[in-house]
Amino acid sequence: MRVGQKLSTALGLQPGLAVFERETTRENAALESLACWAGRFSPTVSLASPAGLLLEIGGCLRLFGGVEAIVDAVLAGCAEQSYSTRWSVAPSPLGARWLAQAGASQTHQEVVTMQAALAALPCAVPAWPAEVENRLASFGLKHLGDLLALPSASMRQRIGNGPLDDLLRAWGELPDLQLPFIFPEKFSIEIELPARVEHAEALAFAGQRLFAALAGWLHGRQLLVRACTLQLKHDDGSLSPLVLRFAEPAADEGRFLRLLREHLSRLQLTAPVEALRLQADEVVNKPGVSEHLFDQAPAGEGVLACLERLRARLGEVAVQVLGQKADYRPECATLGLDASLDFSLPGPSTAALSKPGDQEACKASRPLWLLPEPQALSERVGNPQWHGPLKLLSRAERLESGWWDEGERASAGDVRRDYFVARNPLGQWAWVFRDAEGWYLHGLFG
């Protein structure tokens, strides 16, 4: 079988051949998705329809460590997305395209070596009109080098200006300006699955292609994403949104995929899925960051990345952080907040008492751990007891507040207490108070 045969001939040669109508719309969508993904390698990407992609990598060589490193990364990324590739690297865009179409799979950083490789290509590689190819064959020209060796003026009269101009652009003798791919203002890409998927975890592979494109789009536009939505289109026409929120704006594909797998491991599909659509809901500008002068130790996953994975695994409400509230009463001064992406993790002031005898150091200390309800303490000769007699290490801190919600349901009410930092014979530090009814243990210091 070969390109250009009649369908009846192809079916005669291969009776079990599966035939589909060509869908150029889906081809273009796939090429644009791949262009978004390629934004991680170069900000200058051009589409060479119907199946070509040009990356200008001259300005990115030092960033990636050379041509070989970029080529290996691009080919590995295409393979992960199940794309088959033919590639080439050359000084001129059209020269690189022709060499790739011929399956050269070579790197030519010098114009001279590129021209030698182009000269050996068959005249059929540029895919000129059939009339031009037939005339070249009648002239006995088999390779592009043979065509270039003939007088230019006479050949222009015989085959037109187009093929000769293409030849000069490929050789690098004429400018070959490319129309740059404009990364879309908003990211929204859909992919149709090759078969219906009935188990959520099986969607991770298809999701990888979408999140790879998202990561490239973010790099190309110098943005970070805070939240995105993966729409699951079921075979009954219904849609199921899967919202992914990040503890901090991110652009790392690996981080996206880890969080996606956490969500999919807990997801129960209501119906088989036949298509996926990914859209970026909230994006922010990527701040400029200065690199370190000297090599630094590689960082770990980080608190925020761990936090978003816990939220995906345990649920949005199960993971919260402490926030401060303007109230003097200790049980009302903090509240649980959703660990959302706009929230910077506040830390209540914990007691760090380096000198046990220094009462001034613990004068305004607050424990991180408050008991759900104050625990009544026994008293001996006026001293509170908790695993032995408590030694008071601070002066009394008087709190009088809350008269406005006295008598309301589930409210702390009017509070009148004297708080002390204390220590028992076991070395445990406690936060105790005394009111009209006696002594109480309210918190513990770490």
Q: What is the pLDDT of residues 252-281, one digit of tens each?
A: 998 999 999 999 988 999 999 999 999 999
From CA 135, how far away is CA 128, in angstroms rounded?
11
- 149 pLDDT above the threshold of 70: yes
Helix (H, G, I), strand (E, B) or coil at 222: coil
Spans of all domains in the chain: 23-171, 188-287+303-312, 360-444
Q: Which band of pLDDT confidence, cut at 50, 70 and 90, is reported for residue 128?
A: very high
Name which of 256, 212, 278 is nearest 37 in CA terms: 212
Per-residue pLDDT reduced to its tens digit, 296-332: 555 556 677 777 777 777 777 777 777 777 777 787 7
Burial of 16-31, coded b for 16+ CB within 10 Å and e otherwise, reads: eeeeeeeeeeeeeebb
Residues whose CB is less than 8 angstroms from the CB of residue 387 and which lie 6 or more positions away in sequence, other chains included? 424, 425, 426, 428
CATH of 188-287+303-312, one of 3.30.1490.100, 3.40.640.10, 3.30.420.280, 3.40.50.1980: 3.30.1490.100
Name which of 118, 61, 50 is nearest 90 in CA terms: 118
What does the chain come to in residues?
446
From CA 368, how far away is CA 375, in angstroms rounded?
16
Helix or strand (DSSP H, E) at 263: helix 253-266
* DSSP of 289-313: -PPPSS--PPP-S-HHHHHHHHHHH
- Would you state the pLDDT for residue 170? 95
- 356 pLDDT above the threshold of 70: no
Strands 320-324 and 223-234: unpaired
Tokens for 380?
Answer: 């001996």
Helix or strand (DSSP H, E) at 171: helix 161-171
From CA 243, how far away is CA 249, in angstroms rounded?
15
From CA 256, how far away is CA 116, in angstroms rounded?
44
From CA 31, how far away is CA 85, in angstroms rounded?
12
The burial class, CB within 10 Å (0-12 / 13-18 / 19+), for 190 is middle
For 56-83, what is the mean pLDDT? 90
Q: What is the pTM of this model?
A: 0.64
